[in-house]
Amino acid sequence: MAQAQSVVIPQRLPLVVEPENRDESTWKDAKLINGYVELNDKMKQYWVYKRPGLLQYGVTHVGAGLGVYNWQGNIYSIFADKLYKDDVEIGTVDSAHGVYQWSSSLGDTPRLQLGNGFAAYNWDGTTLTPILTTATVTAGDFITGVEYTILTVGTTNFTLIGAASNTIGVVFTATGPGTGDGTASTTSNFPAEWVKGWAYLDGTTYVMGKDAYIHGSDTAVGMNRPDLWVDLLNTIGAQIEPDAGVCLAKQLVYVLALKEWSTEVFYDAQNPPGASPLAPVQGAKINYGCVSADTVQEIDGILLWLATNRSSTAQVILVENLKPTVVSTKAIERLLGEADFSSVASFGLKYEGHRFYGLTLKNNNLTLVYDLADRMWSQWTGPTGDYFPCIANTYLAGTGRVLQHETNGKLYKMDSEYTSDDGQVITVDLYTPNYDGDVRRRKQVTMMEFIGDRAAGSVLQVRFNDADYVPDKWTNFRFVDMNVPKSTLTNCGTFLRRATHIRHACDTRLRIQAIELQLDIGTL
């Protein structure tokens, strides 16, 4: 075939890609796996980086990971039915209802709250106490006007605060807080059927029932008492729309009730005891609900979650200053449109100027990662090529990002200093879009030069597909040494339209910018 004169200046094939799947499958079209994109603002250049690796932190525990949190400089984690402070077991919790969400309170006795939408607990630094729908209250914390049943008398004279006698089982309506160490039971304001998520605001801790009513901890006995849930009047309904509650969250100084197809916003109106301190923010309704509480993450005050409403399929939204923005692309929404949301997980982490939101669709074996800094999507996997197996994370000063594995009982530190996942190779796969050089003629590739950082032991595997990603039409891999002055492939054949697959499966760093193509363009 007659060829045109070689192009004097090589064409540059950018490697900045994100999922471009044309349908709900992921095997066709461009994508980046186990990497992320970074823009150099000064040079106006994009680079592709290998994602940070993992290194085990602490000891190995037994059982599935169900949550991790930094409180007062200690790492709290749940594996199976055990709660650990750093590596020391401190209590037993429910293990049958998924990943926990966390909060904390201040006051004379700071407390850590943890709950999974079924069971809830307070940790005061010494004792782990369940939060129950029937509350046990000690004298000194009785609320005037609330009905109690005496459990233990101790040193308390219950007749001074409304009881007919100091007898176990007597029902009375408190006329004061009481004194001594006697105890009594009452109906708790903590909802029997509640959803994941806590919101701490101005000394009150809030949770939400599945009926979309928000319940607050007691305020009549003072602030910062998430151990007391007796005031039944401390409730307010999120009822602009009649949809059920899904998750409770907080942004800035607002409490957000995420429901099935809408989100309502509340602020602290400083109402007196006898009512909820909250009031709705007029006009602040968000017309997106939440698919699952396990998709909700907060990063630098920004909330992200997998959203839906009456008129659309699932989308990923970002809410900043109460303003929602859809961040899922058309390609991502094609994947979400056919996804199974019955088992999902998410993570949110900051790393070297990037803010990553990860969404895992377990039954679709897929983890999608959105970078808020460069507004790009990628896919992450574990060492086996399945979905990224970390389901919760936190941050500890001096240690960095701490991630929790779903099944193997381990916590991990995450950093690009670690070029593997705890000794297992991270495989970066970059699939380019179909490339035709903006001309529908046959091209002969005499040379390809790979523009990237040099690193000893860093090797690229490169192959081509001239048949629109058909799986059995890929060429064999060829190898490119990235530790030489010019990393090249020669004699790369001819094509009309070509996709390139670049794989990096080495225990080294990777940063790559582009491929320069020396093309001869034919006349046909």
Q: What is the pLDDT of residues 166-211, one digit of tens each?
A: 999 999 999 999 999 999 999 999 999 999 999 999 999 999 999 9
- Write down the pLDDT at residue 1: 43
- Which of 349, 291, 297 is CA-nearest to residue 315? 291
Residue 158 backbone phi and psi in degrees, to 5: -70, -20
In this structure, of 3-7, 36-40, 272-276, 488-492, the range with the lowest mean pLDDT score is 3-7
- Write down the domain spans for the chain: 11-17+432-521, 54-133+188-425
- List pLDDT tens digits, range 15-64: 888 899 999 888 999 999 999 999 887 767 899 999 999 999 999 999 99
Cα–Cα distance measured from residue 316 to residue 48, given in angstroms and rounded to the nearest whole number: 23
- List pLDDT tens digits, range 151-166: 999 999 999 999 999 9
Q: Is 89 exposed, middle or buried (CB count within 10 Å of its CB: 0-12, 13-18, 19+)?
A: exposed
Count CB-CB contacts under 10 A for residue 415.
Answer: 15
- Write down the pLDDT at residue 14: 78
Q: What is the mean pLDDT of residues 458-464?
A: 98
Contact (Cβ atoms closer than 8 angstroms) between residue 135 and residue 187 = yes
Choosing among 3.40.50.1370, 3.60.9.10, 2.40.160.60, 2.130.10.10, the CATH entry for 54-133+188-425 is: 2.130.10.10
In this structure, of 260-264, 323-327, 398-402, 519-523, the range with the lowest mean pLDDT score is 519-523
Place of tokens 């999120």: 238
Residue 238 backbone phi and psi in degrees, to 5: -95, 90
Q: Which CATH class, in words, describes the domain spanning 11-17+432-521?
A: mainly beta
Percent of all residues in the chain with a pLDDT value above 90, rounded to a whole number:
85
- Write down the pLDDT at residue 312: 78
- 3-state helix/strand/coil string of 382-401: CCCCCECCEEEEEEECCCEE
Fill in the DSSP letter of residue 341: -
Establish how many alpha carbons lie within 13 A of residue 419's alpha carbon, considering only the half-sphere containing its beta carbon. Answer: 12
Q: What is the mean pLDDT of residues 301-322?
A: 94
Cα–Cα distance measured from residue 56 to residue 403, given in angstroms and rounded to the nearest whole number: 9
What residues have CB less than 8 Å from 253, skipping those under 6 apart?
201, 267, 268
